Structure 1
Amino acid sequence: MVTRARDGSPSEGEGRKRRRSEAQEAKVPSTRKASAAARGGVYIPPFKLAQMMKEVGPDKQSESYQRLAWDALRKSINGLVNKVNKGNLKEILPEIFGENLVRGKGLFVRSLMKSQMASPAFTNVYASLVAVINTKFPEIGELLVTRVVLQFRRAYKRNDKPICTAACKFIAHLVNQQVEHELLALEILALLLENPSNDSVELAVTFVKEVGAMLLEVSPKGLHSVFERFRGILHEGEIHKRVQFIIEGLFTVRKTSFEDFPAVLQELDLVEIDDQITHELSLEDKLDAQSGLDVFKLDPNFEESEREYGKMKKEILGESSSEEEDSDGEGSEEEDSEEERDEGPPPTAAPVVTDAGGAGITDMTETDLVNLRRSIYLTIMSALDFEEAGHKLMKIKIPEGKEDELSSMIIECCSQERTYVKYYGLLAHRFCQVRRVYQDCFAEAFHKQYKTIHRLETNKLRNVAKLFAHLLETDGLPWSVLTAIKITEDDTTSSSRIFIKILFQELAASLGLKTLNERLQERSAVSSGWYDGVFPKNLPKDTRFSINFFTSIGLGGLTDDMRAHLKNLPKTIMQNKQPNPVPSSRPQKNKGGRSDSCSYSGSYSYSGSSYSYSYSYSGSYSYSDTADSGEGRKKGKK
């Protein structure tokens, strides 16, 4: 038991124990001290650390030397991150790039998160620092965003409000610096306002104040939906009055277009828009924190890694290297090439990843396709009008052969609306006019949608039908796509009949029944057989079914040609069935007399819901000739 004097100073016994422990510590070998220092458990002054590195020796491949170098890197990064502020950010950036960020990216990210947690007021400074480093080392920016999102997830599940608030603030400023996509901000707001409570609503208000100016610029529709949700929470009145006043204050901030809460301060706007790399992470993604990057690991190629980062640092900072260093670098490259020749060519299946993270990796999980669809969706939903959306979508540079993703995404977004929005029809028509390949994609989509129309709900079916009707009436699509439609009792279902009904009713409403009928009676289209399935004439049963269908939906004027066809059908049948004289069936008379006779009769009737008629016919034919017989001549004289 330690005894202390009354004035609080340690007693003589405690002093002897302390001196004894110091003496024992002096006998500990330097290697043990180095390992303890690398783990961060013991503070070693810089001069003593330099002395220990000299004692370890010049062997850079040894574990003791690399541990000491790791500890020195950790302390240097922590010191630089703790020193950074608005005034000295530009001066500290070269010093940070001077450290081996490839080796110490885990240390750098951990130091940033700890500093931001301790000093939330400097969050915008740390975000600006990350934005600059992200342009040169995108993997560091992605690692930071991943860890902050995971931190928010854990804090939200544990109801840890302080950590959750700090993580939200960091994410907001990363979105402002365009290190992270604005979709993550909208997902967080949707999560916080899904089941509103006093804390979640208050946190959402704080988050919107930080990121609202950026969302107002890049996603005004998304921000509008968030404020509509705030308005609904106010009307429900299930939260505390203090929180209600906070929401009302947020609406006041919105009226001023977030003037008091700018997205990026002028002195922290250090990155050009074209140079920034934006990461698209979601709350639902499976994220890996890569915690192993924070732990020391022995590097068998330590010297080579340091040499490569030295070259990268000179390129980033624009330093000129001496001729000797260039010659050394060329020699090392020749040695590497000789080793590669001895080892043989690398396997093509394994991606080659450099320390800087810039490598060509073949991704078989279709991540690029998912990101493309997400970019198209966000662009469509965030644009104010179809012209802005078309301009932004053209800048995405959709890969060749993936143009159908654009058409399918426009159709999908249109089908998700409660009612049809003309915005999607105008956007689809714009792309059909820009390039022929998009017109072919929408034509193919028409065939696919009609084949699988039974899978859609009535509301989605209605929106899709109106979208294609708009494309047909504006000649965005060729009318030859109607060859996919066959209006018969066997070839249609209830869903397809609703689709055809809405399609033709929209065409008649926009073009007029007379113009629509003229378009459907064009000689080139009729001769090409585009509308043979819409107006079938092969079988009377199918013709009657089509007539009844168009009559029931109020478009009976389109069936005049089919009605005339049915009316003339008996005459056509009669002409086809008129018999020719057959010698073997003629009745013969004696003495050269000759006579021919035949008879025919038939009837045809039709009745429908609003149209009926009947037709019958009969007749006979006879012929006789007795000029060659003597009796005939005598009777003629008499």
Structure 2
Amino acid sequence: MQTSTAHGKQSSGGAGREGHNSYNRSSTPEDRYADRECAPRARDYSDHSQADYERSRTGCPYDDSTESPSPDLEKRRERERDAGHRKRSRKSPSPERRSPGRGVTQYSTQEEPPAKKTKRDELDPLLTHPGGAYIPPAKLRRMQEQITDKSSLAYQRMSWEALKKSINGLLNKVNISNVSIIVQALLQENIVRGRGLLCRSVLQAQRASPIFTHVYAALVAIINSKFPQIGELTLKRLILNFRKGYRRNDKQLCLTASKFVAHLFNQNVAHEVLGLEMLTLLLERPTDDSVEVAIGCLKECGLKLTQVSPRGINAIFECLRTILHESEMDKRVQYMIEVMFAVRKDGFEGHPVILEGLDLVEEDDQLTHMLPLEDDYSPEDVLNVFKMDPHFMENEEKYKAIKKEILDEGDSDSNTDQEAVTSEEEEENENENEKEK
């Protein structure tokens, strides 16, 4: 019995081994992989825990695919770490992290720029601003007094700024009662050097206040009698403005420019040919705006044209009559033409040649410029901009001599007028005394 039992156990054990071996032989790799996945993993739990601990301690990421990283993976990680290190090194360090040696090196290489900046700061108030910085007059005079070299760039720029402020301030105060006083104050400044500034300021003031055109024309007439180049430059810029406004269909620019030319013609600064050419151009191809501009100009200088060129004024009114009867104009423009004929019939009453108090230039001192409308003119805008004069002091002395001569003549004229007035008063007093006796 024992023998059979042992033999049975042995046979059963052999059968089990054979069955296991036959299972291993017959199963496919996919079946073995599925059995291994379904089997418990208690046997490698301790191995995985130990590997996780080692990776967390060393800072390496965990990779489920392999127990130990491959050489290619290690190389790729090293390249990523090197790239991150280079990127951090390219960033500029903060001021706290800069080394003292590096700071000293940078300061030594930039020793010259602080010197240039200091030099620029000295001229910054005037030379670094294109339009010129605002400086109070008292401070500007104090800065001029501190400069010893009168021919230096800084002093010339300061005198230019002072000249510009003085011209603008005087033109803002001009009116009928103080034209002669303003002209005398302008002559105190070097308006030969600042003739571009003076012309620009006059044109800007007239464009802003067209109602004072006769006042600005009287001022230009007085200055033109002393300095004809200033009157000529003003007239050239007016002609260019009128032509520009005519090309661009800018009615307001044409109206202000033609009105100023009309008053300069009344003051004998411009020739009557210029006025007739402007009127003819405006009425050649009539539109509502061009006829309105022509009527506005004709009202101002119609009486003067009637006196000096009756044939020319007749031709202009014939054009207006043709436009009124044959052209299809707006009702408002037709009414303006009818009013213009009524003004002519009344002898331009209410539109005198020169207003009382503005006839300030003697006929012998007047100088008329013959400038046709279609000629090529240069506005000479470079005169509006500061430019260093190598002969600054010589030119200043020359203008002082001219100014003294002009102002002395003005003082003598005013003294003779006062003497004449006093002599007339004395004669009247003597006649009254004789009557009383």
TM-score range, shorter chain: 0.5 to 0.7
Alignment counterpart, residue 142 of structure 2, candidates 51, 55, 60: 51
Alignment counterpart, residue 127 of structure 2, candidates 25, 35, 47: 35
Question: Aligned runs of 1:58-207 on 2, under 5 Å?
Answer: 58-207=148-297
Question: Aligned runs of 1:380-529 on 2, under 5 Å?
Answer: none
Question: Aligned runs of 1:196-595 on 2, under 5 Å?
Answer: 196-318=286-408
Contact 1:148 1:167 in 2 (8 A): yes
Contact 1:123 1:173 in 2 (8 A): yes
Give the count of matched residue pairs: 295
CA deviations over 1:511-546 (Å, ceiling 9, x no partner): xxxxxxxxxxxxxxxxxxxxxxxxxxxxxxxxxxxx
Helix, strand or coil at the partner of 1:269:
coil
Structure with greater Cα Rg:
2
Helix, strand or coil at the partner of 2:337:
helix
Residue type at the aligned position of 2:190: N
1:229 is displaced (CA, Å) by: 0.6
Q: State the distance in 2 between where 1:41 and 1:281 align.
A: 34
Query: Which runs of no fewer than 5 residues in structure 2 stay unpaired?
Result: 1-116, 411-437
Q: State the distance in 1 between where 2:306 and 2:264 align.
A: 16
Q: State the distance in 2 between where 1:271 and 1:50 align.
A: 35
1:34 is displaced (CA, Å) by: 2.2
Contact 2:132 2:161 in 1 (8 A): no
Change over 3 Å in CA distance of 1:121–1:191 after alignment to 2: same
Q: Which has the higher contact order (CA 8 A, sep 6+)?
A: 2
Partner of 1:471: none
Q: State the distance in 2 between where 1:219 and 1:87 align.
A: 31
Change over 3 Å in CA distance of 1:274–1:54 after alignment to 2: closer
CA deviations over 1:69-127 (Å, ceiling 9, x no partner): 11111111111111111011121111111110110101100110010111111110000
Q: State the distance in 2 between where 1:256 and 1:183 align.
A: 24
Change over 3 Å in CA distance of 1:189–1:62 after alignment to 2: same
Contact 2:324 2:334 in 1 (8 A): yes
Q: State the distance in 2 between where 1:27 and 1:282 align.
A: 50
1:290 is displaced (CA, Å) by: 1.0
1:51 is displaced (CA, Å) by: 2.8
Change over 3 Å in CA distance of 1:91–1:26 after alignment to 2: farther
Helix, strand or coil at the partner of 2:363:
coil
Contact 1:143 1:289 in 2 (8 A): yes
Contact 1:35 1:68 in 2 (8 A): no
Contact 2:188 2:403 in 1 (8 A): yes
Contact 2:126 2:133 in 1 (8 A): no
What is the Cα-based RMSD across aligned positions, in Å? 2.0
1:45 is displaced (CA, Å) by: 0.8
Q: State the distance in 2 between where 1:36 and 1:224 align.
A: 57
TM-score of the two chains, using structure 2 as the length reference: 0.65
CA deviations over 1:533-566 (Å, ceiling 9, x no partner): xxxxxxxxxxxxxxxxxxxxxxxxxxxxxxxxxx
TM-score of the two chains, using structure 1 as the length reference: 0.45
Residue type at the aligned position of 1:32: D
Helix, strand or coil at the partner of 2:339:
helix
1:61 is displaced (CA, Å) by: 1.4
1:161 is displaced (CA, Å) by: 1.0
From the two aligned structures, give the one with the greater helix fraction: 2
From the two aligned structures, give the one with the greater strand fraction: 1
Partner of 2:108: none
